[in-house]
Amino acid sequence: MSSEKKPSWKIAQSIARKLGAIAALALLGGLLSATFVRLAPGFDADERELDPSLNAESVQALRQARAGEHNILSFYASYLRGAVHGDLGTSHALGQPVQTLLRERWPVTVRVAGIGLLLAWLLASTLAFTACLWRFPAYEILGITVSGAFLCIPAAVLALLSVILNAPGYLAIALIVFPKIYRYSRNLLAKAYALPHITAARARGLGEIRILACHVLPVAGPQMIALAGITVSIALGACIPVEALCGLPGIGQLAWQAALSRDLPLLVNLTVLVTLVTLLANSGADVMIYMLSPREA
Amino acid sequence: MNTNTTVRRSSLRFLSCALLCCALLSTYAFAQTGGELRFCLRSEPKTFDPLLVDDDSSLSIRYLTGGVLARVNRRTQELEPELAESWKISKDGKQITFKLRLGVTFSDGSPFSSEDVAFTMQRLMDPALHSSTGDAFRSGNGAVTTNIIAPDQVSISFAAPIAGLDRLFDQVAIMSAHSPKKEAAVLGPFMVAEYKAGSSVLLRRNPNYWKKDSQGRRLPYLDSIRLDIQPNRDVEMLRFKRGELDLINVLDSDYFDRLAASSPGLTHDAGPSLDSDFMWFNQVASAPIPEYKRVWFRSANFRRAISQAINRDDLSRVVFNGHAQPAIGPVSPANKFWFNSKLKAEPYRPDAALQGLQADGFRLQNGALFDKAGNPVEFSIVTNASSKARERMAVMVQEDLGKLGIKVNVVTLDFPSLIERISQKFNYEAAMLGFRNVDLDPNGQMNIWLSSAEDHAWNPQQKSPETAWETEIDRLMRAQASTADPKKRKESFDRVQEIVAEQTPLIYLVNQNALSAISSGVEGANPGILSPQTFWNAERLTLNATTRASR
Amino acid sequence: MNAARKLACVVVLVVCVVSLAANWLAPAGYAKQFREAPSAPPSHQHWLGTDEVGRDRFSRVLYGTRISLLLAPAAALVSTVLAALVGGLAGYLGGIWLRLARGFTDLFLSLPWLFLLITVRALLPLNVSPLTSVLITFFILGLLGWAASARVLSTSADTLRNSDFVLQARASGLHGPRLFLVHVLPNLKPVLYAQFWISIPVFILSEANLGILGLGVAEPLPSWGSLLRELEGLISFREEPWRLAPLLLLIVVMTSFQLLLSNEEVTA
């Protein structure tokens, strides 16, 4: 395969195709999540049914309240129709239009997850790179113990700890995500370092930094970038308990609420959003890998 | 020069006098304004419409913002006049006439009159509006008519007599008939100023609140109340300890002791509340459970034996650290008027339990219990996962029944799945739940004891009562609902409690104590057992100067 | 490093022996409730104190180790194998398979599996035995946990597909499953091992969270996850430091395991 420059319209075409695929997958995700929620037991059940002061008609009315969502396909069709006009439905639990809720909350989550993720990568890469550069056994053990420790602490406990210590929420996210990054990146880097040409380069007297930059990173790089893509998804997942416990009014807290109350409109929108973000992050990583990888004849 | 100095001196004197006056006035104003009270709501308020309110959080907001005609004093349990100066119930119990207070206005300034009361009642009794407040008035069928006799007199007529009619008006927050602000115009001490979904609700003092204290000062003393939405109890406790919250309305017994150890004087145990925790067996004829199990569950002997085999003292002691008492029946002993004082809690008697089971043909073999047909006695108890106390009670019941050779499986489920099982699909064997915010008047439990009702937990919506004792309970409940004479009502309901004790369709376990925590910065608090425990007198609460200054 | 590895070996052996011999070593059964001493501090009779219902914490740790140590790695193995199959194979095959697998994996990562788990619970009988319940739970966790690393693996395998030595192997006549198993899969080891080690504590903790849905270990059977959930009443840590014991034990065991096998992770 020769490294010809593709004509720009072909590039645009492939980008458009990719974006179309992403959109289609996101919508499929919405439909699947709606199906899951609908099929799970307790869809029709409302806490208020157990209230002895409600009479029979009221309880019936409660049960019928979700009748419009019984047929998943028709619900989803009407949701899509509304979405095209910018109406994403109304949340049952919070009584507000989903669009308003999302608009108010996404900056909080972006901030918390974004900073948390950056911190996690900083921490994990520092640990991993220095472990590879210095190669002290004690350091290795420290890395394993520290990352193992944070993996074993439940996310809820880390979130509570950050509330107790008045630490910002993104710190809890960083501590939840960094052990996973560390584990993967340490292994990838170690594997890259174990390759024969690294020993040869060392024997020839190349500096560690040069070896890292020119010989190790190109090998481990693509996989690290792919890892970066999925850590977005992991960070979003970690946002849910952290925001709920730290009282941060973001999308994670919304997801927690929605799951507890089987709020179908909210859950569908959240799934579509999360799928979009995951797909974009991972596709972005793929594109970056493609652009950075050497073209071989 | 001299004139200037004199002028300067006199102006200085004037200035200092003025400053002193300002200081005095501000201290006076300082004493007048009470600062911002902060506490948590455990869940998102579902609605701000006072007629549709049902969940705890919305009820708290309605209590603080809604003006009612008559209020049940949460401490004395007596009904006191509020917006209505007096009222009269007709002899047949079908009509109530209120004499309203004059000169009251809504929070937006629009005048309050009998038109607003009529409007509220009409809206409440609209059959399309499904609210627990409205349903409480709908014990009989037929229309409700309101008659505006004068701007300060209104009478409301019902098709059938309603027991405890006047006390029901404690739940009816009067809405404005004409105000353009609709439900935002309120008559209570506070009004909703801000609502951030998922985050907090801010209530501000209602400048037009009619009530004044004994010295003629306008109530409420507080400037505002901030309600943070925080479902997690650990975080709530933490924030209270840090001084970010002024009170915890309902405190778990776990936290009570820890807090009492570190800061005694902040915790309050008001004694047994009206709440109860209980378990029951599925007696539905069409339930998808094995027939032999249905036979067990339908036998009063079996249920009674299970009840005797549970050590309620241990439950109170271990799960609630002593902040609970063994429950006796549908009514807690704290409900002084309605409790049948002849009844006692079921004592722990495993031997009597075994004998009772053996009378039914069960036998103990190699440490396991078998029924007449040789089936091993094994069943599951479902309960909701969000209650740690109930999980622990279920584990203790599992151990207690294990001593009789009965194998119990504890299954914790999320609430919607649980509700589906116990009220729609009936695919469960035994369940453990609790009643919260129980009404003083047993009429509020009508839908539990009527065999045709939805909340007749063990066998709801029967077309006609399937047992003799359920027929009797139906008759007694209808009897107590159809007369206004409290003595006759008590006779009927006492008999209901006795039947429940004999037949144990619901095995009552414990009555928890009403626990709360109030910081030392709050003045005027007097926590009781009726909800809302700590802020029932919110209009008279103040924060002391230090707390106000620190905010 | 050797000294550390020896220590790790000893720790792992001790933990395995002790957990297998729990029946004999535990001072009390895991279910026996000492109701006169709920939430008691450590004492001669209860080395790690008792939990809120009065059960001996030390015995529960011993029994819980057995379940979690056995089942969590098994579930981690399931998810690793699935990740290798979906991610590795797709990367190796390339083209449309790679694109399909990537899309499927991304979708899988974003769906709310909570509701599927609730449905699974509803389909199981209420009186399912604790062992069956926990087996099913861990199996499901294994089935759900492969997506993240599959994504990374697909990139690794894709890179490998075009690498020199694979092309060479192909040229010398090796293809199909043999090529995948002999040349590609071993090079995916770093990611596979990372996936395996991360999954174990994650599954142990998830099993506890699934208890909320009625899945997971049924009372009174203990598991590390349920023991770790006790940590959620965090306020009392300074007063009750012995409640950290299960967490410390888990960290020590995980670290020891990883130390033992850390060489394996990098050599091809």
Q: Which of residues 6-45 of A touch C (CB under 8 A)?
A: 21, 25, 28-29, 32-33, 36-37, 39-42
Contact B196 A249 (CB under 8 A): yes
Q: Which of residues 82-121 of B touch A (CB under 8 A)?
A: none
**Token duo for residue B299:** 């036998």
Distance CA B73, CA A171 (A): 48
**Token duo for residue B217:** 């000062």
β-strand partners of B98: B87, B154
Contact C53 B238 (CB under 8 A): no
Helix ranges (DSSP H) in B360-485: 388-402, 415-419, 446-449, 468-482
Phi/psi zone of residue C239: left (φ > 0), alpha (ψ -120 to 50 degrees), beta?
alpha
Question: For chain B, how many helices (H) and strands (E)?
Answer: 17, 22
Contact A279 C106 (CB under 8 A): yes
Contact A45 B228 (CB under 8 A): no
Contact A52 B235 (CB under 8 A): no
Residue where the block lists tokens 């193995």 = C77
CB of A154 within 8 Å of a chain B CB? The answer is: no
Which three-class secondary structure state does DSSP give residue B175? coil
Contact C266 A194 (CB under 8 A): yes
β-strand partners of C198: none
A&B contacts, CB < 8 Å: 115
Determine contact, residues B266/B259, Cβ cutoff 8 Å.
yes
In this structure, are strands B224-229 and B36-41 parallel, antiparallel, or unpaired? parallel
From B78-87, B399-408, C24-33, the region with the lowest mean pLDDT: C24-33
User: Minimal Cα distance from B403: which residue of C?
Assistant: C32
Determine contact, residues B284/B426, Cβ cutoff 8 Å.
yes
> How high is the pLDDT of residue C232?
75
Residue type, C267: T
Which among B430, B396, B459 has a CA at the least distance from the CA of B296? B430
**Token duo for residue A193:** 């370092």
Encode chain A (297 residues) as per-residue pLDDT tens digits.
444 566 788 888 988 988 999 999 999 999 999 999 988 888 888 888 888 888 888 888 888 877 878 888 888 898 989 988 888 888 887 778 899 889 989 999 999 999 999 999 999 988 888 887 777 778 888 888 898 899 888 888 888 888 888 889 899 999 999 998 998 888 888 888 888 878 888 888 877 778 878 888 888 888 889 899 999 999 998 999 899 888 888 898 888 888 888 888 999 999 999 999 999 999 899 888 888 876 543
Distance CA A34, CA C191 (A): 33
Average pLDDT over all residues of chain C? 85
Determine contact, residues B338/B369, Cβ cutoff 8 Å.
no
User: Minimal Cα distance from A100: which residue of B?
Assistant: B197
Nearest CB to A154 within list C159, C162, C228: C228
Q: Which positions in chain B touch A50 (Cβ < 8 Å)?
A: 419, 423, 433, 455
Q: Which positions in chain C touch B257 (Cβ < 8 Å)?
A: none
CB of B230 within 8 Å of a chain A CB? The answer is: yes
Which three-class secondary structure state does DSSP give residue B97? strand
CB of A149 within 8 Å of a chain C CB? The answer is: yes
Contact A53 B136 (CB under 8 A): yes
Q: Which positions in chain B touch A254 (Cβ < 8 Å)?
A: 198
Contacts of residue C185, defined as CB under 8 A and 6 or more positions apart, other chains included, come to C84, C88
CB of B423 within 8 Å of a chain A CB? The answer is: yes
Helix ranges (DSSP H) in B70-200: 114-124, 132-137, 165-168
| Rg of chain A taking only CA atoms, in angstroms | 24
Determine contact, residues C150/C89, Cβ cutoff 8 Å.
no
Question: For chain C, how many helices (H) and strands (E)?
Answer: 13, 0
Which among A251, A256, A155 has a CA at the least distance from the CA of B386? A256
**Token duo for residue B17:** 């006098």
Which three-class secondary structure state does DSSP give residue B149? strand
CA distance B413 to chain C (A): 5
CA distance B382 to chain C (A): 9
Q: Which positions in chain C touch B429 (Cβ < 8 Å)?
A: 126-127
Contact C208 A40 (CB under 8 A): no
Q: Which of B235, B262, B398 to mutate to test the interface with C (most CBs of C within 10 A)?
A: B398
From A10-24, A127-141, B48-62, B230-244, the region with the lowest mean pLDDT: A127-141
Instruction: Using the predicted structure, report yes or no on whether residue B142 has a pLDDT greater than 80.
Output: no
Q: Which of residues 118-147 of C touch B (CB under 8 A)?
A: 118, 121-122, 126-128, 130
Q: What share of chain A is helix, strand, coil (3-state, %, to 5)?
A: 80, 0, 20
β-strand partners of B382: B411, B431
> How high is the pLDDT of residue B510?
96
CB of B351 within 8 Å of a chain A CB? The answer is: no
Determine contact, residues B119/B177, Cβ cutoff 8 Å.
yes
**What are the tens digits of pLDDT across the range B258-285?**
889 888 889 999 999 999 999 999 999 9
> How high is the pLDDT of residue B17?
58
CA distance C185 to chain A (A): 14
CB of A191 within 8 Å of a chain C CB? The answer is: yes
Determine contact, residues C160/C92, Cβ cutoff 8 Å.
yes
Contact A141 C4 (CB under 8 A): yes
Which among B263, B392, B370, B253 has a CA at the least distance from the CA of B323? B253
Q: Which positions in chain B touch C220 (Cβ < 8 Å)?
A: 395, 398-399
Read off the pLDDT of each residue in B333-361 and give the average, rounded to a whole number. 93
Determine contact, residues B24/B212, Cβ cutoff 8 Å.
no
Instruction: Using the predicted structure, report yes or no on whether residue B398 has a pLDDT greater than 80.
Output: yes
Distance CA B443, CA B439 (A): 8
Burial class (CB in 10 A: 0-12, 13-18, 19+), B473: buried
**Token duo for residue A291:** 């652009």
Which among B191, B158, B155, B156 has a CA at the least distance from the CA of B176? B191
Distance CA A255, CA A266 (A): 8
Helix (H) or strand (E) holding A172: helix A169-193
Helix (H) or strand (E) holding A40: none
| Rg of chain B taking only CA atoms, in angstroms | 27
Sign of CA dihedral C195, C197, C203, C206: negative
**What are the tens digits of pLDDT across the range B432-466?**
999 888 888 998 888 999 999 989 999 999 999 99
Q: Cα dist. A185→A123, B213, B424 in Å? A: 11, 69, 51
Instruction: Using the predicted structure, report yes or no on whether residue B18 has a pLDDT greater than 60.
Output: no
Distance CA A26, CA B181 (A): 42
Buried b (16+ CB within 10 A) or exposed e, C63-98: bbbbbbbebbbebbebbbebbbebbbbbbbbeeeeb
Q: Which positions in chain A touch C159 (Cβ < 8 Å)?
A: 222-223, 293
Contact B237 C235 (CB under 8 A): yes
Q: Which positions in chain B touch A154 (Cβ < 8 Å)?
A: none
Residue type, B392: R
Burial class (CB in 10 A: 0-12, 13-18, 19+), A192: buried
CB atoms within 10 A of CB B526: 15
Which three-class secondary structure state does DSSP give residue A230? helix
Distance CA C89, CA C76 (A): 19
The phi, psi pair for B86, rounded to 5°, reads -160, 165
In this structure, are strands B378-384 and B200-205 parallel, antiparallel, or unpaired? unpaired
Distance CA B475, CA B450 (A): 9
User: Minimal Cα distance from A55: which residue of B?
Assistant: B135
3-state secondary structure B37-64: EEEEECCCCCCCCCCCCCCHHHHHHHHH
**Token duo for residue C138:** 């861990």
Contacts of residue A186, defined as CB under 8 A and 6 or more positions apart, other chains included, come to A127, A128, A131, A132, A143, C194
**What are the tens digits of pLDDT across the range B95-129?**
999 999 999 999 998 999 999 999 999 999 888 88
Provide block-wise average pLDDT over 10 residues at a time, chain C (268 residues): 83 88 87 91 90 92 87 92 90 87 91 87 85 87 89 86 80 79 82 87 85 79 84 70 85 84 54
Q: What is the largest CA-CA distance in chain A?
A: 87
